[in-house]
Amino acid sequence: MSFQSEKLGGHMAAAVSGIDLGHLPDAATQQALIDALHDNLVLCIRAQKLDPPAFLAAMSRFGTPMRRKQLASTPECADVNIISSEDRDELGDGKKIVNGANWHTDDSFMREPCSLTMLYGIEIPSRGGDTQFANMYAAYEDLPAETRARIDPLKVVHKYSSSRKLSRISTRPADEMAAMPEATHPLVRTHPDTGRRALYLNPNRMEEIVGLDRAESDRLLDELIAHATQPKYQYRHVWQQGDIVIWDNRCTLHKANADYPEGERRLMHRVIVAGTAPV
């Protein structure tokens, strides 16, 4: 099986076409897709038509799927989540909630966060609803040498509901919250497959830097977030129906935009795959 590829952003993101994931790729093609993801951080596979079981089967070739209760699931597959313009904080105030409305990396509140996220465009609005990505390799590499030396050994406490969070998050049951204790992760992590160093930030989940007083911690985190989310590190994905976008949470940030016309629907299916504790 072969496919065509094209660069989407100057420093990250690529699209592939000419492949039907309804027929699982052979080993060589699958490795080529994984290599393309490692090279580009964000990979878009165009023009797919997959039901939830087929989507899950194709994404399972990239890693072991993980179940997340914070999002609704499809009736056919509990491991395929639904992200919709109709999402509400059902256990809280019942108001509309935009999942991922601010810069973040998925799952950093977990002690072993997911490695990859796969989002499949089922219904796409006529305009808006883009997903933005930021390259954390490039953001780290562009820091002054003295700043890198300062932050390399630092660790950060991450929480599901951080006091620094920038957007509303869904209310979870007490037993589920008890199963998500705070996690401590390095501020700079080494990718287990590429060996490259990247900033590991999550503005919506980071609580404080271990060993710094709160004011200094907040100041440094704010400075790094502002640096890492500059436009020069970003790629903005304009969705097409049938796109499957796969990104590497170990070296990117991303955010959703809910700027589509009132009354239009945006519906995505999502799979995440297992990762390891950041180092």
Tens digits of residue pLDDT in 203-240: 999 999 999 999 999 999 999 999 999 999 999 999 99
Q: Give the contacts of 7 (CB within 8 A, at least 6 positions apart).
A: 13, 14, 40
Tens digits of residue pLDDT in 137-146: 999 999 999 9
What CATH number does the domain located at 4-273 have? Answer: 3.60.130.10
Q: Note the pTM of the prediction, 2 decimals.
A: 0.94
pLDDT at 89: 62
Among 106, 107, 243, 248, the active-site one is 106
158 is catalytic: no
* Domain spans, the chain: 4-273
pLDDT at 226: 98
Q: What does the longest C-alpha to C-alpha distance in the chain come to?
A: 55
104 is catalytic: yes
Among 46, 185, 189, 270, the active-site one is 270
254 is catalytic: yes
Burial level of 224, CB count in 10 A (0-12/13-18/19+)? buried
pLDDT at 229: 98
Low-confidence ranges of the chain (pLDDT < 70): 1, 88-91, 94, 97
Q: How far apart are CA 61 and CA 244, in angstroms?
A: 14
Helix (H, G, I), strand (E, B) or coil at 199: strand
Q: Say how many Å lie between the first and final Cα of the chain, rounded.
A: 35
Q: How far apart are CA 131 and CA 128, in angstroms?
A: 9
Among 189, 191, 254, 269, the active-site one is 254
